Structure 1
Amino acid sequence: MGGMGGALSDGIIKKIVLSYTYVAIWIFLSFTVIVYNKYILDKKLYNWPFPISLTMIHMTFCSALAFLLVRVFKAVEPVQMSRALYLNSVVPIGILYSLSLWLSNSAYIYLSVSFIQMLKALMPVAVYSIGVALKRDQFKSNTMLNMVSISLGVAIAAYGEARFDLWGVILQLGAVCFEATRLVLIQILLNSKGIQLNPITSLYYVAPCCLLSLTIPWLFVEFPVLREKSSFHFDFLVFGTNSVCAFALNLAVFLLVGKTSALTMNVAGVVKDWLLIAFSWSVIKDTVTPVNLIGYILAFLGVAYYNHSKLQALKAKEAQKKAPEADDEESGKLLEEREGESMGKKGESQD
């Protein structure tokens, strides 16, 4: 018994260590991509303010690498998917993903890293609101009150922002809305049909769709400007390493959610946001005001409460699932006992 207890505790410790490792990898890569994108797009730093082009470079790299892994090296099996399912499910998700990335990257031109992270705290509000609108979630007054508290915290943070830019805020809020809609649609269009995409197959199907949907705005918005800038040369070191980081982050997201849970990722996201705010203030020298911090602390408490509520709901669901199983086991035992008793009585009567 002692050996089994020791083995069990070792297994639990290993699971905890792996979970923290996945969280640490995701935080590191997410942190790196955000800071790297800010460096490339910011006019005061690398000064290459072309967010659509940057997103297209990422998607081209991800598409090519995913294609090689799926079709050439056969490292991953492709998902059986009809053309109708691809057009009706994957294409809308891909378009929303491309819009989310485009607007999110665009916001780095106008806003500080710390303020963007504060605005991203509105993600649970957007996911819940869209979920209710699409009848995916039930409206609950206490949850809505929680959403209002998060929104109020973000509003206070925005009020205290030293480098407030309305256009940048609109871009980031648009990115949050598109990303929230994408997350809800993944549940409705793919997961409900039993289709689970792993990191590679997800990029294999979604990345080319993102690339194609970004081509249209790129031709009208950025291509004419890039054509005029004849002095521009493609920096393979900067854009190559940036694309590798973006690809690795996509893998880390699916790895973290697959090996732990979406809830763990939400909690890890809060830790990452605080690290980015500290980095933005101490290294990049962005101004973080006391009002900023008060607002974000309020939003952070709201998000923490939301995550706690989700965890309690998941535990309640698991308990409900286990209850019928326990009842079935109990019924089985009673049936066995009764059969045993009846067999015993038969034996007595035969004697």
Structure 2
Amino acid sequence: MPATNDSGRLFTIVLVTSWYSSNIGVLLLNKYLLSNYGFKYPIFLTMCHMTACSLLSYIAIAWMKMVPMQTIRSRVQFMKISALSFVFCASVVSGNISLRYLPVSFNQAIGATTPFFTAVFAYLITLRREAWLTYITLIPVVTGVIIASGGEPSFHLFGFIMCIGATAARALKSVLQGILLSSEGEKLNSMNLLLYMAPIAVLLLLPATLFMEENVIGITIALSRDDIKIVWYLLFNSALAYFVNLTNFLVTKHTSALTLQVLGNAKGAVAVVVSILIFRNPVSVTGMLGYTLTVIGVILYSEAKKRSK
């Protein structure tokens, strides 16, 4: 029996490590491509991610049978998934645009305010109120980002607005997902949801990248002739983007919701440290204090939510 427990614990450790590595890896590689490498095409990059998610989701579900395939039951359900896909696209594209202008550490600090936006959208859309204590815990979350913004040496207004937009869109997607796919007949697990959302995202992103990022495909082909590494970067980055979703699903399945929250909070802090070590972007004491305050606020928020249930 202990051997089974040990192997189960080892499997969970491997899963969590894979989740962290893929999450932080895709973030750092996006930053490297968009900022350091000079591949200034965030919409095309997101489209590559979604293309990989479409193909690999189909392989994982239809061929490898990792989860049973769930079918779309109605046109209404399809429209709901399409709406979610649009919001999902907006969040990923905005996040990638922000990485062109902001260091990963500051990007993560802003991303930590997701609970604030989730609470705001949940109230605006469903009029569902949380306990007062839950709202009070959001004060350090927002205050921390305001302090971090004031102390950020690499602050960029447009990048900041894009990052706030990405965080808000991410929160909106989670609230809408809870509302739109709440009935038993419409619920999809995250792997099946990605299977349907990713191809819709590609169809949304293709005209956007062709219109807004002129001749991006021609430029990428020309770049690959000069440096074949760009092809491998894009392929690896896109596969990693799918792996983020796969490991997130598996970690959710094999751990509790509370463990996932704790791991999620710690993941942002790990990403900040790793990005500073790799990119050596300047950080100020004020910025780190602000980020620390935000993380403490998120932990308190998680606790308050748990107690109010």
TM-score by length of 1: 0.79
Shift of 1:226: 5.4
Q: Deviations over 1:189-242 (max 9, x none)?
A: 113335443454222211011111112321221134655787333733111111
**Would you say the 8 A contact 1:162–1:287 is kept in 2?**
yes
Counterpart in the other structure of 1:157: 148
Residue 298 (structure 1) aligned with residue 289 (structure 2): no
Q: How far apart, CA to CA, are the structure 2 residues paired with 1:269 and 1:76?
A: 24
Can you give the 5+ residue segments of structure 2 that lack an aligned partner in the other structure?
none
Selected match of 1:105 from 87, 96, 103: 96
Displacement of 1:12: 6.0
Tell me the C-alpha RMSD between the 2 structures: 2.4
* Structure 1 residue ranges without an equivalent (≥5): 1-6, 315-351
Cα distance in structure 2, aligned partners of 1:229 and 1:283:
26
Write out per-residue CA displacement over residues 129-165 of structure 1, whole angstroms, 9 at most, x where no aligned residue: 1111122632432222211221001100110000000
CA distance in 1, matches of 2:136, 2:102: 28
Shift of residue 74, structure 1, vs aligned partner: 5.9
Pairwise mapping of residues 1-351 of structure 1 onto structure 2 (< 5 A)? 7=1, 16-42=9-35, 45-71=36-62, 76-135=67-126, 137-224=128-215, 227=218, 231-233=222-224, 235-314=230-309
Does the residue aligned with 1:231 lie in a helix, a strand or coil? helix
Structure 1 residue 34: deviation in Å?
0.5
Residue pair 1:110, 1:168 contacting (<8 A) in 2 also: yes
**How many residue pairs are counted as aligned between the two chains?**
305
Is the contact made by 2:116 and 2:138 (CA closer than 8 Å) also made in structure 1? yes
Contact 2:107 2:163 in 1 (8 A): yes
CA separation of 1:12 and 1:106: change in aligned 2, threshold 3 A: same
User: CA 1:269 to 1:170, structure 2 compared with 1: closer, same or farther past 3 Å?
Assistant: same
Q: 1:17 to 1:308 in 2, by over 3 A?
A: farther
- Structure ranking higher on relative contact order (CA contacts 8 Å, 6+ apart): 2
User: 1:23 touches 1:265 (CA, 8 Å); kept in 2?
Assistant: no
Query: Deviation digits for residues 19-52 of structure 1, max 9, x if unmatched?
Result: 444322211110111111111111xx21101000
Matches of 2:164 and 2:144, distance apart in 1: 15
Report the Cα offset of residue 18 of structure 1: 4.2
Query: Hey, what's the Cα distance between the residues in 2 that align with 1:137 and 1:145?
Result: 16
Cα contact 1:124–1:303 (8 A) shared by 2: yes
Q: Which amino acid aligns with 1:270?
A: N
CA distance in 2, matches of 1:110, 1:257: 32
Larger Rg: 1
- SS of the equivalent of 1:191 reads coil
